[in-house]
Structure 1
Amino acid sequence: MRSLMLASLLTLSAAPALALAQPGKDCHLPGTEESLRCLRLAVPLDHHAPGAALSLHVTVAPALRESARRDPLFLLAGGPGEAGSDLVPLLNTTFRKVRATRDIVLIDQRGTGLSGKLDCKPGKNAETATEDELLAETRACIKGLNKRFNLYTTEQAARDIEVVRAALGYGRINVWGGSYGSRLAQAYSRLYPGSVRSLVLDGVAAPDQVVPAGAHDAQAALDALLKQCADDTVCAAAFPALRSEFDALAARLAKSPQSLTLPDPRTAETTKVEMTSMRFIGTVHNILYSQADSRRLPFLIHSAYQDRWQPFIARSNVSRDFSSEGGPAMPLHLAVVCAEDFPRLTPELLAEDTKGSFLGAPQIMRIGKMCETMSVPAVPYKEPAVIEAPVLLMSGALDPVTPPRRAEAARKYMKNAQHLIVKNGGHIVSPLGCMPRLLRTFLDQPGAPLKAECLNEIPAPTFQLNSAGPQP
């Protein structure tokens, strides 16, 4: 409340050009029943050539106690393509202890959520469309948006954060970044080191990481899951040939797609579905992100191997390929990755990364077909500066895209960092076990070492053995 009252009185002179905050107003966003504060800020479309502007949506969840600290926590969502407002449901769970004494600020990154979302809605037949049909729809949508995609970079988004900080009247801030948000948080800290009190990075993207090149990490996560099933007496008894079944499915679909006729999981109407290698591998990779979701994978693989594809198709439809109603902004994702990552994906890196992995070159190079349509210039890679602010790095040992080794690579460019690893965690571990308490402890004393033995008490979810769901 304090910061929003200040924001309503600010003028252009109080922040970078075009940072004029409209008075905050009460708002209700999906994921919470309480009233929050929302406002819009005009930020330069191009921070290097001020002129045209875009409207940025900002949500503030005021601290629950009147004696709030002056250093808020800014939340940066992942993707790229997720919006800060997508994290609202975490306010009363993961960040409840932090919010007791600090304002929490959520920014819908340019091109996401309520900040001019770059949106490609799924077609009417998205769940049964072929790969070529999906690609054509996405290309047509990208062309139809008619946007200057080269201005939707990590650097431009980082400069937006500084506009928000100044407009709300905050001094130094704390920043939590999850997944891609960890890259954005690092970029902001390097651009504005005097504005950052501390960083909390969950699912850490290393500065030199080429995001599409994730085959090695994906295979490591799958191997760990298969081993856990083999080591679990009940899972091993239910699925004794799990690895060979997966290998057989992958090999079969690599040769040719499988045409399926089965009841639609939602309507029960008979429909035809083409299960391609691309769809199969993509679904498996997506499932591995969540430690809880991944415990369903042995059942899904075994069922598919026995030609009972309905459970696998139902799960595949949750994250069907290029777009999803109400989901992340795919064109924003492409704007960032096609400019900052794909140009660094050399043939040598691709060959090294995919060697021995179920995630092969066709899946990884798929994004290149859309990058051609985006037509954004490459953003040159620069050797990162050392981050002086205290940093808390968090990783899940079973993360298929940003495992602990990525956090360690990022740590080389940090002066004061500590790294917590959840052995039974996947991608994003902030909500797990005692981690919310550790977040609050770190923010209160960023320079002090954390006692994190409690993370070893976080159990692994049980495996799903049949259609009834996970074991009790």
Structure 2
Amino acid sequence: MKTRSLLPLAALWLAASAAQALPSGAAATAASKAVRGCHLPGVTDTLRCVTIDVPVDHAKPGGDKLKIHVTIAPAHRQGTRGDPLFVLAGGPGEAGSDVAPLLSTAFNRVRATRDIVFIDQRGTGRSGKLDCKSKPEHERMTEDQLEAELRSCIAATKAPFAAYTTDAAARDIEAVRTALGYGTVNVFGGSYGTRLGQAYARLYPQSVRSLVLDGVAAPDQVIPAGAKDGQAALDKLFAQCAKDAGCNKTYPNLRAEYEGLVAKLEAAPLKLNLPDPRTAQPVEITMTASRFLGTVHGILYSPADARRLPFLVHSAAQGRWQPFIARQNLSGDFGGEGHIATLLHFAVVCAEDVPRMTPELLAADKGKLTKTLADKIPSLCKALNVPAVPYKEPARIEAPALLLSGALDPVTPPHRAETAAKYMSRAQHVVVDNVGHGVSQLGCAPRLLRAFLDKPQDKLDAACLKEIPPPTFQLGSFGPQP
């Protein structure tokens, strides 16, 4: 699942069966008037889409409204289960409709007996996406120019940023459940979606049958302060390369090469003249320390991607930057629709995370991978001018919960789930050795999701996840080893 916390413009600045019906019930009958067949990118099935009006401010139900887009993938077997799986995407800023392709992977077993309901959080996807236009020229702008573009985008946006909080999004979920006529629901959250899922379970405990949280954010986690977790994942990668005969032989000085590149870029940006990886036309690119570190951090999310990092670092250390630039472009491509909503991301983080970025927290957050974000975002937050959301001691969650962690995760490593589990009465935590950020679509995980949702009160036997092998390292230009 895509769970990147930054999107193209921001990332470049900071890192330089259609006939099936809806569930029965009077509310569903009313909602079904607006239901239509629809298709989403990456999904071959005809799905069902509906738009539900919610208050901009839930304290003023008679006030202005927002339209929340919901996509329903009906259960393959009708009449078998009345408890759907509500899917909450990551970011903050990713939409439920963006992760609908998970129907064929993570949710293929679950959908046999349950509706899968993808919710576009307010300000994302088809729910009034708060975004900035991504342009090809952004890749060649300086970080100051990119920040100016962001500030201009913020100033031109009339949306009430203060209304786009996790709490408001959780209340939207309840409005969706009620409008569609569902009883208790199961909630799946990935990455930031785990924060939203926990918030919903605390606000509406009577509505939640079970929780599946993949890449778990702890209640006290501050998103921009992730340098220590990122550095731990990078150190693990260096250690794995040193223990792998092929990787160690090919890149015997990997850590020194990496640290040398960081030191060189921190001393001064590097002007690169090379063929554009997309067009092959000559182009001048400025590589800065923040862009380099941001790209490295993004690569660490996926172990398969991370196993290419030694090749990318070594090539750059030898002066051949083309492979690294090509990989950097993946996080800032111009696909448009599937990108995380830039301004929604900042609205949430500026209100909920930045106010908790104390000097003590930042001093303890050792590492460099996310330091640019932590240093620069407070200034940008002033432009959004959102009030701080006070941190509250989390209430206990009584619903059964399955927590999934990848041992190599650079942003929500296992210790984050362990902290979250302290506030849950019935939590099962599964750590998968050779996995990074996102477990649900790998190996036997889809089968385990179905088993847990069928009997969430039972102990889950997750031993099969140990069979997921580590990816091989890339030792040359022809890709990873067989």
* Shorter-chain TM-score tier: over 0.9
Identify the residue that residue 15 of structure 1 maps to in structure 2: none
User: Unpaired segments of 5 or more residues in structure 2?
Assistant: 1-19
Contact 1:121 1:324 in 2 (8 A): no
Report the equivalent of 2:456: 446
1:25 equivalenced with 2:44 (yes/no):
no
Q: Which amino acid aligns with 2:22?
A: S
Deviation at 1:300, TM superposition (A): 0.4
Alignment-derived partner of residue 369 in structure 1: 379
Q: Secondary structure at the match of 1:272?
A: strand
Aligned residue in 2 for 1:16 = none
| Aligned partner letter, 1:3 | L
Verify: 1:155 aligned to 2:149, yes or no: no
Report the identity percentage: 62
Q: What is residue 47 of structure 1 aligned with on the other side?
A: 58
Give distance in 1, aligned partners of 2:433 and 2:298.
19
**Residues 1:25 and 1:362: Cα distance change in structure 2 (over 3 Å):** closer
Matching of residue 433 in structure 1 with residue 443 in structure 2? yes
**Aligned partners of 1:114 and 1:60: how far apart in 2?**
14
Which amino acid in structure 2 is aligned with residue 24 of structure 1? V
Inter-CA distance 314–438: structure 2 relative to 1 (3 Å threshold): same
5 Å-filtered alignment, 1:185-200, equals: 185-200=197-212
1:347 aligns with 2:359: yes
Q: Which amino acid in 1 is paired with 2:224? A: P
Q: How much has 1:369 moved relative to structure 2? A: 2.8
Q: Is the 8 A contact 2:296 2:369 kept in 1?
A: no
Q: Deviations over 1:6-59 (max 9, x none)?
A: 477555xxxxxxxx6643111111111110000110111110112100111100
Match for 1:471: what amino acid?
Answer: Q
Q: Which residue number corresponds to residue 469 of structure 2?
A: 459
Q: Helix, strand or coil for the counterpart of 1:465?
A: coil
Partner of 2:77: 65
Q: CA deviation at 1:2?
A: 4.0
Report whether the alignment pairs 1:211 with 2:223: yes
Residues 94 and 436, structure 1, Cα contact 8 Å, conserved in 2 = yes
Classify 1:22/1:144 alpha carbon distance in 2 versus 1 (closer, same or farther; 3 Å).
Answer: farther
RMSD: 1.5
1:56 pairs with 2:33: no
Q: Distance in 2 between matches of 1:336 and 1:110?
A: 11
Per-residue CA deviation, residues 81-124 of structure 1 (Å, 9 max, x unaligned), is 00000111110111000000100000111000011101101134
- The 8 Å contact of residues 397 and 425 in structure 1, kept in 2 or not, is answered as yes
Q: Is the 8 A contact 2:23 2:182 kept in 1?
A: no
CA contact (8 A) 2:185 2:210 kept: yes
Equivalent of residue 410 in structure 2, options 400, 405, 417? 400
Q: Which amino acid aligns with 2:436?
A: G
- Name the structure 2 match of 1:325: 336
Other structure's SS at 2:22 match? helix
1:56 is paired with a residue whose SS is strand
* Structure 1 partner of 2:254: 242
Q: Distance in 1 between matches of 2:126 and 2:144?
A: 30
TM-score (norm 1): 0.95
Q: Is the 8 A contact 2:226 2:370 kept in 1?
A: no
The match for 2:157 among 145, 149, 167 is: 145
Name the aligned partner's letter for residue 268 of structure 1. A
Alignment of 1:34-183 (within 5 A): 34-50=45-61, 51-183=63-195
Cα distance, 1:289–1:429 mapped onto 2, change above 3 Å: same
Taking the aligned partners of 1:466 and 1:455, their CA distance within structure 2 comes to: 30
Which secondary structure state, in structure 2, belongs to the residue aligned with residue 125 of structure 1?
A: helix
C-alpha separation in 1, matches of 2:98 and 2:209? 24
The one of 219, 227, 239 aligned to 1:227:
239
1:8/1:23 contact within 8 Å kept: no
Rounded Cα–Cα distance in structure 2 between residues aligned with 1:437 and 1:179: 20
Q: Is 1:202 the equivalent of 2:221?
A: no
Give distance in 2, aligned partners of 1:184 and 1:162: 12
**1:369, 1:307 → 2: CA distance?**
34
> 1:352-396 CA deviation, whole Å, 9 max, x = no partner?
103xx1326334222223212111000000001000000000000
Helix, strand or coil at the partner of 2:138: coil
Structure 1 gap segments, 5+ residues each: 12-19
Contact 2:405-2:412 within 8 A present in 1 as well: yes
Number of residue pairs the alignment of both structures matches: 461
Measure how far apart 1:290 and its partner are.
1.1
| Alpha-carbon separation, structure 2, partners of 1:426 and 1:467 | 24
Which of residues 283, 288, 291 is equivalent to 1:276? Answer: 288
Q: With CA pairs under 8 Å and 6+ residues apart, which has the higher RCO, 1 or 2?
A: 2
Distance 1:162 1:238 in 2: 54
SS in 2 for 1:427: coil
Q: Report the residue type matching 1:240 in the other structure.
A: P
Q: TM-score, with normalisation over the residues of structure 2?
A: 0.93
Distance, in Å, in 1 between the alignment partners of 2:236 and 2:324 is 21
Determine the C-alpha separation between the residues in 2 that align with 1:66 and 1:360.
Answer: 47
Q: Which moved more, 1:311-320 or 1:157-166?
A: 311-320
